[in-house]
């Protein structure tokens, strides 16, 4: 999907967006409001787990957890959907809730759930710093997450003496149907910037484009990553990273791109 902008901070730039199909529209609209063209190349599909036994057990035992930690909006969505299917109401949240990122917190608050902790850095390490003084050995922590989530958070919580239960609330699978068209646009030099909003978008991009890649095929494309973890994954996959957001949000990523382009974020409606 390509839309045309006017004289704004991203005017003249065509930006490839690799988020999941369910999330891509929001970012496309942001880019278009800033005057850029957005090429949506959704690479991820999110699906409920085929085996929900562990998730269902955690949901039925929800009142026994001292903390429930959500690390993504999708984690919130799939967990609450499964709660409804299992027949457990929101009153089962009797412990404290932590959320990585303001949008994750907003998704919880939308359902009337109170969020006790939102870290200043929107990654697992930031959450640990924010929670450190409130965690006590022996407390039970539930982590409803994606099947591919990093292990840093549960490992550190366990090291602090907490009883951690990880449950997969959704699986991410590659969606490469659009790869031939995306590769053609890259090969024709029609894409200026590729946005990666998670490590999984990077690894899925590399897998989807493997048969189309050639020497220096991304030489004229800038790579922009939502945060240092995504950037590290990009570098590990051989990509040169040009932009890393200091605020790990979509808005922060676009602001970093504009700054990198020499634009002025002030006065925009990011």
pTM: 0.71
Give, as one character, the DSSP assignment of residue 117.
B
Mean pLDDT by 10 residues, the chain (270 residues): 63 91 82 93 88 96 96 92 96 94 91 88 69 87 84 85 94 88 93 93 92 85 94 95 90 92 52
Determine the Cα–Cα distance for residues 265 and 270; give it in Å rounded to an integer: 8
pLDDT of residue 46: 85
Which one of 3.40.50.10090, 3.90.1580.10, 1.10.3720.10, 3.30.365.10 gives the CATH number of domain 14-43+175-264? 3.40.50.10090
Provide the residue ranges of all domains of the chain, joining segments of one domain with +: 14-43+175-264, 47-173
Please report the pLDDT score of residue 213 as a whole number: 83
Q: Which residues contact 47 (CB under 8 A, 6 or more apart)?
A: 170, 171, 172, 173
HEC profile of 60-104: HCHHHCCEEEECCHHHHHHHHHHHHHHCCCHHHCCCEEEECCHHH
How many Å apart are CA 80 and CA 113, to the nearest integer? 11
Give the CA distances from residue 48 to residues 22, 76, 167, in Å, rounded to whole numbers and listed in that order. 14, 12, 12
- Number of Cβ within 10 Å of residue 266's Cβ equals 9
14-43+175-264 matches 47-173 in fold = yes
pLDDT at 269: 37
Q: What is the model's pLDDT at position 156?
A: 86
CB atoms inside a 10 Å sphere around CB 58: 22
Topology of the domain comprising 47-173: Rossmann fold (3.40.50)
DSSP 268: S
């Amino acid at each position: 999907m390509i839309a045309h902008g006017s004289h704004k901070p991203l005017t003249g730039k065509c930006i490839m967006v690799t988020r999941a199909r369910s999330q891509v529209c929001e970012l496309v609209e942001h880019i278009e409001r800033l005057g850029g063209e957005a090429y949506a190349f959704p690479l991820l599909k999110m699906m409920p787990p085929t085996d929900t036994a562990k998730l269902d057990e955690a949901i039925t035992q929800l009142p026994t957890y001292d903390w429930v930690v959500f690390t993504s909006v999708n984690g919130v969505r799939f967990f609450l959907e499964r709660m409804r299917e299992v027949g457990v109401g929101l009153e089962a949240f009797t412990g404290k809730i932590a959320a990585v990122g303001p949008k994750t917190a907003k998704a919880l608050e939308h359902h009337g759930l109170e969020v006790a902790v939102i870290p200043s850095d929107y990654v697992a390490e930031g959450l640990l710093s924010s929670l450190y003084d409130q965690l006590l050995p022996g407390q039970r922590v539930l982590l409803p997450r994606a099947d591919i989530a990093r292990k840093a958070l549960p490992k550190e919580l366990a090291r602090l003496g907490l009883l951690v239960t990880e449950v997969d609330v959704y699986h991410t699978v590659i969606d490469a149907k659009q790869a031939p068209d995306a590769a053609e646009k890259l090969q024709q030099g029609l894409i200026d910037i590729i946005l990666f909003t998670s490590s999984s978008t990077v690894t899925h991009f590399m897998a989807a484009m493997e048969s189309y890649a050639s020497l220096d095929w991304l030489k004229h494309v800038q790579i922009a990553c939502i945060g240092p973890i995504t950037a590290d994954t990009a570098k590990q996959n051989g990509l040169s990273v040009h932009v890393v957001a200091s605020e790990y949000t979509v808005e922060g990523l676009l602001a970093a791109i504009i700054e990198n382009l020499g634009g002025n974020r002030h006065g925009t409606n990011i």
